Structure 1
Amino acid sequence: MLPPPKGLVKSIEQVCVVVNDLDKTIEEFVEKAGIGPWAVYTYAPPDLKNMRVRGVETSYGMRLALAWTGTFMWEVIQPLHGPSIYREFLDRHGEGMHHVLVQHTCGSLPEAIAEFERRGCPAAMEGHYKGTDFAYIETDGPLKMILELVQRPTTPGYRRPDPERWYPFVPEVPFT
């Protein structure tokens, strides 16, 4: 019998829901679950680059919001334009939980993408936004959910880009 393959996922960092109305959804998260404040962004060209859906170069845009409970990140995404796996999800399933962001055990994002592909799970969508590369892996068939992988800059002092706005208030200590 062969040994099990090397583990690729070492931790879960985030859960994301894809929606039609980001503003309404983050209001509900604040009112119903007390989750917030939310950092709100628009990811679109020219800041959003190297976009591919299933290996084909394309252009898409989205609004997204991030909030934390402890060290766990919540994300809400609303697709704006262009082909994306977010739009595909909304068209097929309606609003709901779309993916989990995981930390991988590979040395780099390209290595992780290659290893998932070797295991039959290719990249569904990729892009680059202000220093961070991201990829969504087509694991929704075998794992019943999509996995997201990211590679952020490792330079000392790196901070996430400032959001366009905060909802419902600016935190005393913004995230890094």
Structure 2
Amino acid sequence: MKNLLGTNVITQIGILVHDIEKTSQVYADFFGVDKPEAIVTDTIEKAQTEYRGEPSVARAKLAFLDMGSLQIELIEPDENPSTWREHLDQHGEGVHHIAFQIEGMKEKIQVLERANMPLVQKGEYEGGRYAYIDSVKDLKVMIELLENDK
């Protein structure tokens, strides 16, 4: 049996929230760490965000908590169409994805699409790119692929 991703190491768990400032503080207090600074994702010009095959101006506030080998990402989406907004509206706050660091983004997306796990959203960030794969039917959670530039 072949590993479709080429890795089994989860690097991140993404959690959707309505209020990132409040939730970041709760996490910080819970773990006894400093409250992470929230950042806002890049505009479409830089991020080249695509949602369901169409360009999207969607942005989100993100806060990251490094928990040993795993990162918790808190996500507060804006009102524009995105996998974040759709999931928050339909399911409320909670886990959105588990993320894996991969190499060969285009190839991995094709492999997963052939396995009936379609690309939902993709974009660029400083130093790399991401893709959300709809693996919910099979895996009960969305997968995020992260590829950093070498």
TM-score, normalised to structure 2, is 0.90
Distance (whole Å) between structure 1 residues aligned to residue 8 and residue 138 of structure 2: 18
1:118 aligns with 2:126: no
1:16 aligns with 2:14: yes
- Name the residue aligned to 2:73: 75
1:88-145 deviation per Cα after TM superposition (whole angstroms, max 9, x unaligned) = 11111110011111134xx411111111011110111101122321000000111100
Structure showing the higher helix proportion among its residues:
2
Q: Go from structure 1 to structure 2 and tell me whether the alpha carbon gap of 1:139 and 1:150 turns closer, same or farther (over 3 Å shift).
A: same
- Name the residue aligned to 2:87: 89
Runs of 5+ unmatched residues, structure 1? 155-176
- Name the residue aligned to 1:150: 146
1:26 aligns with 2:31: no
Q: What is the alpha-carbon root mean square deviation over aligned residues?
A: 1.7
8 Å contact kept, 1:127–1:135: yes
Distance (whole Å) between structure 1 residues aligned to residue 47 and residue 8 of structure 2: 28
User: How many residue pairs were aligned?
Assistant: 149
**Aligned partner of residue 141 in structure 1, secondary structure:** helix
8 Å contact kept, 1:22–1:78: yes
Q: 1:67 deviation in Å?
A: 1.4
Q: 1:72 deviation in Å?
A: 1.4
Q: Go from structure 1 to structure 2 and tell me whether the alpha carbon gap of 1:35 and 1:122 turns closer, same or farther (over 3 Å shift).
A: farther
Distance (whole Å) between structure 2 residues aligned to residue 37 and residue 14 of structure 1: 18
Distance (whole Å) between structure 2 residues aligned to residue 35 and residue 142 of structure 1: 35
Larger Rg: 1
8 Å contact kept, 1:44–1:60: no
TM-score, normalised to structure 1, is 0.78
Q: Go from structure 1 to structure 2 and tell me whether the alpha carbon gap of 1:24 and 1:17 turns closer, same or farther (over 3 Å shift).
A: same
**Aligned partner of residue 74 in structure 1, secondary structure:** strand
The one-letter amino acid paired with 1:81 is E
Q: 1:32 deviation in Å?
A: 2.2
- Name the residue aligned to 2:126: 130
Q: 1:80 deviation in Å?
A: 1.6
- Name the residue aligned to 2:38: 40
8 Å contact kept, 1:99–1:146: yes
